[in-house]
Amino acid sequence: MSALPRTPAAAADVSPLFDLGQGLIDRSIFSDETLYRQELRRVFAPSWLFLAHESQFNKPGDFFTTYMGEDPVIVTMGRDRRIRAFLNACRHRGMRVCRADAGATKAFTCSYHGWSYDTSGKLINVPNRDGYPDGFDQDKWGLTEVAQLDTYKGLIFATWNPEAPPLRQALGDMTWYMDAMLDRDPDGTEVVGGVHKWVLEGNWKLAAEQFASDWYHVNISHASALMVMSPSGKGPKAEIVQTPGRQYTDPNGHGAGFPTHPKSRFDDRVVHHYYDYEKLRERLGDTRVEGPMTTGHATVFPNFSYLPVNGSIRVWHPKGPDRMEVWAWTLVDKSMPDEVKNAQRLYNLRTFGPTGIFEQDDGENWSECQATAHGFMAGSMALNYQMGLGSETEDGTHPGTTGHLYSDGAARGFYARWRDLMNTPAWHEKDHEKDTP
C-alpha cells in the first residue's frame, strides 16, 4: 500500500468570487486560508510546475531541492543519467531525507532513523531490518516519485497528476513566446550564479499575475529606476513611455506582455553589443526579435515567470495566503563568452535581484496590497480588472489571442484558469469518487 485512502476535504465553489466578463474579482482569493489549502490540492498538485534547469545536473548524483506548492522535492540525476524528482520525505516518519539546497551524493539518508534511498528513489538500507515482519517488502517503500517529469529547452517541469496532458500540450502557444528567450542560441541555455532566494509578505498570485499581464505599473512604480537607467538621467522619452506593444493570453492561464518600440530594449550594454540581431532575425523571425525578445514579462501558469531582457527566471513559492518565497536564477545563452555571461548576471542582480532597483518596487507593491487584505471592508471589496476588456483578438502576427500591451487581459485569463481548476476535482479526488458507493 503506497498511500492510505482518505476523504477529500470539502471544496468551495469559487465561481461567485469572479465576474470576469465585467473584469471583477473578489479580494478574498488572496487572503482566505481555506481557499489557499484548496489551491494547493487543486491548482498546484495537478499542474506542471517548474523545478530547475538541466544545466544544474552534470553528473550522476547531482541534486537540487525545491518545492511543488508546499511539498518539498528532490530533483536528482540517477546513475543512468536520467533526471527524476521525488517527494523529499522519508517513508518511515516523513522527515526530509535531504536538507541541503544542492550538491552531489550516492544516497539520501534520513538522519532520524537511517532509512537510505539511492538516486533512483529505491530504499536500499533499513537499520535493524530484522525487526520488521516477514511481510515487509522493502521494494515498496521507496521515495514517492512525481507522476510525470519533462523538459522544454532546458527547463525541467513536473506534476503529481498522472492524468495531466503532456508538457508541450500544456504550454500550448506559449512556447512561441518562450522561445524568444530560450532559443536564441543553437547550443541552448544555462543558469549561472546560483539561486537567489528571498521572502515577501504577499500572496503568490499577485506576483504571477503581474508578470503575466501588467505593463500598466511600469511607468508609475518604476519611474525612478527608469530615470536612473535613461541616457539623459531625465527618464525615457514620451514615445517610449507610451510604447506600443501586445499582450498574449493563453487558455491554460499563461500570459506574456512585450513592447514593440525599438528603443524599449534596455539590455545591459555588453549583452546588447554581443547580439547579432540580423542573425537572430533569421533564427527567430522579425516579430519575435521586435516583440517578446524585448523588455517583456511572462508567466507560465501557475507560478513560473521570466524576463527575457535580463535572463531572469523565477518561481513564486506559496508559503501561506500571505507570504511567498521568491527563487530566481540568471539564464544565459551557452555560447556567450564568460564576460558577457557575467555582465548578464550582474545586470539581473542590479535590476531584478533581491535588492534590484525594479524588484524593490514590485515587492513593496505586493506587500502593501496584502497588508490591507484582511480588513473587513477592504477585504470584501471587488477589485477592478477591466482594462482592455473586449480588445483581445487573433491579430494574424502573434500566435494565439493577444490584446493591447496596457491591459488586464492575461490576468483575467490567469484567474479564469485558477477558477476552473479550483472548481474541478483533481485526479486524487476523482479516484475517491469512483470508490464511493
**pLDDT tier at 1, thresholds 50, 70, 90:** very low
Q: Out of 44-53, 313-322, 394-403, pick the least confident.
A: 394-403
Residues 29-56, mean pLDDT to the nearest whole number:
97
HSE-CB at 44 with a 13 A cutoff on CA atoms is 24
Q: Out of 55-59, 207-211, 261-265, 394-398, pick the least confident.
A: 261-265
Kindly report, residue by residue over 81-90, the tens digit of the pLDDT. 999 999 999 9
pLDDT greater than 90 at residue 104:
yes
Query: What is the DSSP pairing of strand 49-53 with strand 24-26?
Result: unpaired
Reading the block at residue 43, the C-alpha cell is 491548482
> Angle, nearest 10°, between helix axes 359-371 and 204-213?
130
Residue 41 and residue 387 in contact, taking contact as beta carbons nearer than 8 Å:
no
Query: What is the DSSP pairing of strand 102-104 with strand 123-125?
Result: unpaired
Nearest to 126 by CA among 100, 90, 159, 157: 90
pLDDT recorded at residue 436: 37
- Superfamily covering domain 173-422: Naphthalene 1,2-dioxygenase Alpha Subunit; Chain A, domain 1 (3.90.380.10)
Sheet-wide strand order for 324-333: 189-200, 324-333, 312-318, 304-307, 297-300, 255-259, 245-249, 401-404
- Given this structure, which CATH class describes domain 49-150? mainly beta
**Distance from C-alpha of 176 to C-alpha of 180, rounded to nearest angstrom:** 7
* Beta carbons within 10 angstroms of residue 395's beta carbon: 12
What are the residue numbers of the active site? 113, 214, 217, 222, 362
Q: Is 104 exposed, middle or buried (0-12, 13-18, 19+ CB in 10 A)?
A: middle
DSSP string of 7-41, one letter each residue: PPPP----GGGEETTTTEEEGGGGT-HHHHHHHII
**pLDDT tier at 29, thresholds 50, 70, 90:** very high
For all residues of the chain together, what is the average pLDDT? 92
Kindly report, residue by residue over 249-289, the tens digit of the pLDDT. 999 999 999 988 666 666 788 998 999 999 999 999 999 99
Distances (CA, A) of 422 to 38, 268, 339, 384, 415: 7, 41, 46, 21, 10
Where do the structural domains in the chain lie, given as residue ranges?
A: 49-150, 173-422
Q: Out of 53-67, 138-152, 252-266, 282-296, pick the least confident.
A: 252-266
Residue of higher predicted confidence among 238 and 282: 282
Residues 346-366, mean pLDDT to the nearest whole number:
90
pLDDT recorded at residue 437: 36
- Share above pLDDT 90 across residues of the chain, in percent, rounded to a whole number: 78
The β-bridge partners of 52 are: 156
Kindly report, residue by residue over 411-421, the tens digit of the pLDDT. 999 999 999 99
Helix (H) or strand (E) holding 284: helix 277-284
pLDDT recorded at residue 435: 44
Q: Cα 140 to the chain's mean position, in Å?
A: 32
Kindly report, residue by residue over 208-231, the tens digit of the pLDDT. 999 999 988 887 787 777 777 666
At 22, phi and psi to the nearest 5? -105, 0
Cβ neighbors of 141 (< 8 A, separation 6 or more) are 91, 92, 115, 123
